[in-house]
């Protein structure tokens, strides 16, 4: 497989315990800004049930898809 792609992508899971229906926007902003410092641009934000916790079911969370030019 060739590495001639112009962009690379990264998917980050943002899990946060929800209090009521409020997501911690300060924590989300820090995650976005940290990735921006490394050249990543937010391409998509998707709400999803995120697995991985002990017990039944899943936690509401976000999948953040970032893109940056390869190089």
CA–CA dist 19, 42 (Å, integer): 25
- Number of separate domains in the chain: 1
Q: Average pLDDT, whole number, for the chain?
A: 82
Tell me whether residue 25 is in a domain: yes
Q: Which domain holds residue 32?
A: 7-69
The token duo for 63 is: 């999948």
Yes or no: say if 66 and 42 are a contact pair by the CB < 8 Å rule.
yes
The token duo for 61 is: 């969370």
Give the chain's radius of gyration (CA, Å): 15
Please state, for a pLDDT cut of 90, what percent of the chain lies above it. 46
Tell me whether residue 1 is in a domain: no
pLDDT reading at 62 higher than 70: yes
The pLDDT tens digits for 41-57 are: 999 999 887 665 555 66
Q: Report the predicted TM-score, pTM, of the whole model to 2 decimal places.
A: 0.74
Mean pLDDT of 27-49: 94
| Per-residue confidence (pLDDT) for residue 4, from 0 to 100 | 79
């Amino acid at each position: 497989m060739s590495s001639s792609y112009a962009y690379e992508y990264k998917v980050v899971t943002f899990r946060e315990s929800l209090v009521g229906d409020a997501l911690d926007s300060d924590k989300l902003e820090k995650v976005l800004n940290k990735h921006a410092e490394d050249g990543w641009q937010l391409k998509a934000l998707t709400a999803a049930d995120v697995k991985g916790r002990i017990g039944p079911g899943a936690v509401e969370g976000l999948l953040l898809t970032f893109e940056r030019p390869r190089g």
